[in-house]
Structure 1
Amino acid sequence: MESPPRKIIHIDMDAFYASVEQRDDPSLRGKPVVVGSPAARGVIAAASYEARKFGVRSAMPSSTALRKCPQLVFVPHRFEVYRAVSRQIHGIFADYTDLIEPLSLDEAYLDVSADLASVGSATETARLIRQRIAAETGLTASAGISYNKFLAKMASDQNKPNGQFLVAPGKGQAFVATLPIGRFYGVGQVTEDKMKRLKIETGEDLHRQSLEYLVHHFGRSGPWFYDIARGIDDRPVNPDRERKSSGSETTFETDLLDTARIEAEVAALADKVFAWCGKAQAFGRTATVKIKYADFEQATRRRSLPSAISDAATLRGLAQDLVRSVYPLRRGVRLLGVTVSNFAGAPPAVQAVLPV
């Protein structure tokens, strides 16, 4: 006998960082608020719905956002507050399920198949969760409800903000068929552009492609695209999902051309990343350096070691060697980033050498 379909909810807070700021400062309510810096090299971390009406979005350069909406109100981020609110929201989730998979501070998957709170339906569970979030935090959330994670994630965008949407069993393929390919979770700008060149613009277009065709054009992602066009996603909600990487990056006020300064900045980023590795006891074998130039072209350099990177000096040296591989510089450097991945647990202990 086939197992009954899962009952998955994807909860997504509405403009989370900006909404927290508007909640805590009533003078910001109704105004186009962004979390970030108005500096020339600033980047928007979050935008209120009032700001979004002007086309302002997260990850947009502040200068671009100001051109779209000169009356933007900038507020600095308060991540300690956002983390505290996120913990409060997750406490609400725990009253309804033990299977919670966080994606970020403001969104998570919940598997409510077991109906821990005896609510009776996933749709009503989502409504109650959203109602409690509003009552206990003063913030709104949107929800997608379906029989798998992909569909729940897509559904949570349907009635934003402060709404929910159900994709019932048997309705997934029809729901996906209506969506523009750029809406698909996991389809970034580069992949979207490639699909459009191949005349794949909607879920229906994607569904018409054979598995062989998709593997030919998209490699290992081909089977994933083939399945989601049919509303298929067998991934379970994983409350113990391991973090796959840790990184840090910074955007500079003025472009860097001084190689000594660049190497010093990369070293500082490496130290910051390794501090997290030590705290989390998660040590990776692969170091990656990202370089974004003044014209926004990007270069990535990566190197893997046979065993986990065991100390900050090793990561620092790796990162500096990687950034040196792009010399000589022909353009200024706008952004630098360092990431560690390919986690292998704690590094092997180093035995102290005793004096003779």
Structure 2
Amino acid sequence: MSFLDLPQIIHDDRHIIHVDMDAFYASVEEQQHPHYRHKALVIAPDPRQHNGHGVITTANYKARQYGIGSAMPAIKAVEKIPAAQLQFTPPNFPLYRQISSQIHQIFNQVTDIWEPVALDEAYLDVTHNKLALDDEIRLALIIQRTIKRQLRLTCSVGVSYNKFLAKMASDYAKPFGRTVITSRQAQNFLAQMPISKFHGVGKALQQKLNQLGLHTGQDLQSVSVDFLTKKFGKTGFLLYQRAHGIDNQPVKAHRQNKSIGREQTFNRPIFNDQLTQQIFQQMSQQVAQTLQQKRLVGQTVVIKVRTVEFVTYTRRRTLEHFTNNAELIFQVSQQLFEELALQTQPLRLLGVTMTNLSEQNFEEIELF
């Protein structure tokens, strides 16, 4: 018997909740500016003031009724929404990050095993939880109501025995929805779903599946694992598993880095201002690269300087906005060093660190 012929075993002993904030950025803006609630709100710079440029980060549900969604050119909103109804506002990521942090604190009260996907969604493994409850549906309701009560924001929750189905469930009834998928219900639930609704299936793969006559979850369930793996390799095997309600990926416990830094000790003390500047620049680039690789941004730059007399100085500056930009980190580091006025002293150690870290969301990338 080959590996692909082995029976597919469903492990349904875990309790996973997927929390997805409803139109998060737009809802936060509506909370800050109540009059926005009566508008078709689009989170993007107004393209009429930027030569038609700009990309939509997200939109509220009124704007979505006009077919407006994230990653669309902002000019589409101008074309589709009546001017009297349309409201643009640029994204305020520091604010969204602050609210997201408060949501994460609520997760921490329930379980230590939670995995952020973006600022506005996360998976929680509540199989063993801090509230000592064995009712995952009640836990999901507690999370939903706590967010609503404390932050006056709504979220949709999906409850199931794996991450894939929990995500499918939270998408099923938005906004402020609650959907539960048990192991007995999974295949029937997935059978009725169009493939376009399967989390992780992009447009290119969807088109290839449609060309093979596969349009729904039921169509995927009707074909063999051999057929799908011959057509799509490993992706085909994963498709077969997902269509049958199988996903054994663990929820990766969130471990936030407290800081990321680089420092260098010199066997021979350095005197040269130009060399000092060069070292700060190199370390700033290394710190920025690590931040970018870990999809993190920081708000506070810290430098560390030690003289040959082993006197250690640390200086820090908190920026107005989060960043992982090497040039900005270097500029702030150099300013802090110049303020110390140690240029004439021999130095044994230099260091650059970024603290006050947060996750970087993909929408923060400059798109125009």
Q: Structure 1 length normalisation: TM-score? A: 0.68
The match for 2:203 is 189
* Aligned residues with identical type, % of pairs: 42
Deviation at 1:276, TM superposition (A): 3.3
Q: Could you tell me how far apart the structure 2 residues matched to 1:148 and 1:229 are?
A: 13
- Going from structure 1 to structure 2, the CA distance change for 1:274 and 1:104 (only over 3 Å counts) comes to farther
- Going from structure 1 to structure 2, the CA distance change for 1:273 and 1:239 (only over 3 Å counts) comes to farther
Unaligned runs of 5+ in 2: 1-9, 258-283, 296-325, 328-364
Is residue 36–residue 76 contact of structure 1 (8 Å, CA) maintained in 2?
yes
Deviation at 1:6, TM superposition (A): 0.4
Deviation at 1:281, TM superposition (A): 7.6
Correspondence list, 1:235-314, <5 A: 235-240=249-254, 276-279=288-291
Q: Could you tell me how far apart the structure 1 residues matched to 2:135 and 2:27 are?
A: 29
Deviation at 1:168, TM superposition (A): 1.3
- 2:40 is the counterpart of 1:32: yes
The match for 1:111 is 125
- Going from structure 1 to structure 2, the CA distance change for 1:187 and 1:273 (only over 3 Å counts) comes to farther
Correspondence list, 1:58-207, <5 A: 58-71=70-83, 72-207=86-221
Q: 1:41 aligns with which of 50, 53, 59?
A: 53
**Other structure's SS at 1:101 match:** strand
Q: How many residues align?
A: 259
Q: Could you tell me how far apart the structure 1 residues matched to 2:155 and 2:128 are?
A: 23
Deviation at 1:220, TM superposition (A): 1.9
Q: Structure 2 length normalisation: TM-score? A: 0.66
Q: Could you tell me how far apart the structure 2 residues matched to 1:48 and 1:64 are?
A: 15
- 2:256 is the counterpart of 1:220: no
**Other structure's SS at 2:26 match:** helix
- Alpha-carbon deviations, 1:33-61, whole Å to 9, x = none? 01102221211101001111111111111
Is residue 11–residue 248 contact of structure 2 (8 Å, CA) maintained in 1?
no
The match for 1:322 is none
Is residue 18–residue 122 contact of structure 2 (8 Å, CA) maintained in 1?
yes
Correspondence list, 1:296-335, <5 A: none
The match for 1:6 is 14
Q: Could you tell me how far apart the structure 2 residues matched to 1:97 and 1:163 are?
A: 21
Deviation at 1:64, TM superposition (A): 1.6
- Going from structure 1 to structure 2, the CA distance change for 1:211 and 1:62 (only over 3 Å counts) comes to same
Deviation at 1:279, TM superposition (A): 4.1
- Going from structure 1 to structure 2, the CA distance change for 1:241 and 1:228 (only over 3 Å counts) comes to farther
Is residue 111–residue 124 contact of structure 2 (8 Å, CA) maintained in 1?
yes
- Alpha-carbon deviations, 1:106-126, whole Å to 9, x = none? 000000001320334111111
Q: Runs (4+) of structure 1 moved beyond 3 Å? A: 240-243, 272-276, 278-283
The match for 1:257 is none
Q: Could you tell me how far apart the structure 2 residues matched to 1:56 and 1:274 are?
A: 39
- Alpha-carbon deviations, 1:163-187, whole Å to 9, x = none? 1100012221111111000000010
Q: Which has the larger radius of gyration?
A: 2
**Other structure's SS at 2:250 match:** coil
Is residue 116–residue 254 contact of structure 2 (8 Å, CA) maintained in 1?
no
**Other structure's SS at 2:13 match:** coil
- More divergent stretch after superposition (65-74 vs 54-63): 65-74
Deviation at 1:67, TM superposition (A): 1.5
Is residue 46–residue 54 contact of structure 2 (8 Å, CA) maintained in 1?
yes
- Going from structure 1 to structure 2, the CA distance change for 1:201 and 1:282 (only over 3 Å counts) comes to closer
Deviation at 1:282, TM superposition (A): 5.5
- Going from structure 1 to structure 2, the CA distance change for 1:217 and 1:85 (only over 3 Å counts) comes to same
Q: Could you tell me how far apart the structure 2 residues matched to 1:60 and 1:13 are?
A: 20
Q: 2:62 aligns with which of 34, 45, 50?
A: 50
The match for 2:222 is 208
Deviation at 1:3, TM superposition (A): 7.2
Amino acid at match of 2:13: P
Is residue 12–residue 161 contact of structure 2 (8 Å, CA) maintained in 1?
no
Is residue 134–residue 140 contact of structure 1 (8 Å, CA) maintained in 2?
yes
Deviation at 1:203, TM superposition (A): 0.3
**Other structure's SS at 1:157 match:** helix
- Going from structure 1 to structure 2, the CA distance change for 1:6 and 1:282 (only over 3 Å counts) comes to closer
Q: Which has the higher contact order (CA 8 A, sep 6+)?
A: 2
**Other structure's SS at 1:10 match:** strand
Q: Could you tell me how far apart the structure 2 residues matched to 1:103 and 1:34 are?
A: 22
Q: Could you tell me how far apart the structure 1 residues matched to 2:229 and 2:254 are?
A: 30
Is residue 5–residue 169 contact of structure 1 (8 Å, CA) maintained in 2?
no
Q: Could you tell me how far apart the structure 2 residues matched to 1:169 and 1:95 are?
A: 27
Q: Could you tell me how far apart the structure 1 residues matched to 2:27 and 2:43 are?
A: 10
Amino acid at match of 1:98: D
- Going from structure 1 to structure 2, the CA distance change for 1:136 and 1:117 (only over 3 Å counts) comes to same
- Going from structure 1 to structure 2, the CA distance change for 1:228 and 1:136 (only over 3 Å counts) comes to same
